[in-house]
Structure formats: structure tokens, C-alpha cells
Amino acid sequence: MYVVQTHSIDFFEILPIIFGVLIGLAVIACGVYFYVKGQDNKKPLITKKVKVLEKPVSQGNIAWYVVECEDGERLKLRSFQDGKMIISVGDVGILSYRGQTIQDFKRQISR
């Protein structure tokens, strides 16, 4: 005589596993964020006069911008301060950046 036992998995048995995976993903995301930011902080600060051409993507607090320098060079730069640093398409000003990260933007008002 064979006895077959079935055991269904209860939601409360899986909940700690799901919670652990979410915490692990959050730790990995924070690690990647600080690694990328740290890599840019090692690079020299460059300051140029630019015109903002477009703002293609904004993801959370990270905003990307395409800018054109006075010499015609185009750069794709990001800002980790999307809510604090207001930059609009068409703005002209002095931009300071390290690597791909915008450090400061001073808008120039044309008369």
C-alpha cells in the first residue's frame, strides 16, 4: 500500500523568501548607483558653455540631457538631481560636469 502525501505551499511560508529577494535587489541597486556615481567623481571637472538640445529620458531622480557645446560637440549627460536642478530644452548656460554627470548648470539670460 502506497501513501501519497501532498503538501501545498502556504503564502506565509513564501513571504519571507519574497521579502529577502526584494531586500537583496534593493541592496544591489544601491550598490550600482553609488558605484556609477563614484566612477564619475574620479574624473576631472569640465566646464563649458552649452545649449540644451533635448531631454530624452527621465527615470526617477535621474534625468538625461543632450547638450551642444560652443565648438559643436554634442554630449549626453545625466543629472542625479532632477527635482533640484531645473534645466529645460533651449536653455543656454555654463555647464560643469564630471564624466557623464552634471555637477552644476548656470543659465545665462540672453538679451
| Domains: count for the chain | 1
Q: CATH number, domain at 52?
A: 2.40.50.140
Distance, in Å, from the CA atom of 17 to the CA atom of 36, rounded to the nearest integer, reads 29
> 21 lies in a domain?
no
pLDDT digits (tens, 9 = 90+) for 87-96: 889 999 999 9
pLDDT band at 1 (very low <50, low <70, confident <90, very high): low
> 27 lies in a domain?
no
Residue span of the structural domain in which 92 resides: 45-107
pLDDT at 82 over 80: no
> 7 lies in a domain?
no
Distance, in Å, from the CA atom of 63 to the CA atom of 86, rounded to the nearest integer, reads 10
Distance, in Å, from the CA atom of 85 to the CA atom of 38, rounded to the nearest integer, reads 20
Spatial CA neighbour of 63 closest among 109, 25, 100, 26:
100
- Provide the 3-class DSSP secondary structure of residue 34: helix
Which ranges of 42-62 does DSSP label H, i.e. alpha helix? none
> 33 lies in a domain?
no
pLDDT digits (tens, 9 = 90+) for 12-63: 888 889 999 999 999 999 998 888 878 878 889 999 999 999 988 777 778 8
pLDDT digits (tens, 9 = 90+) for 62-74: 889 999 999 999 9
pTM for this prediction: 0.66
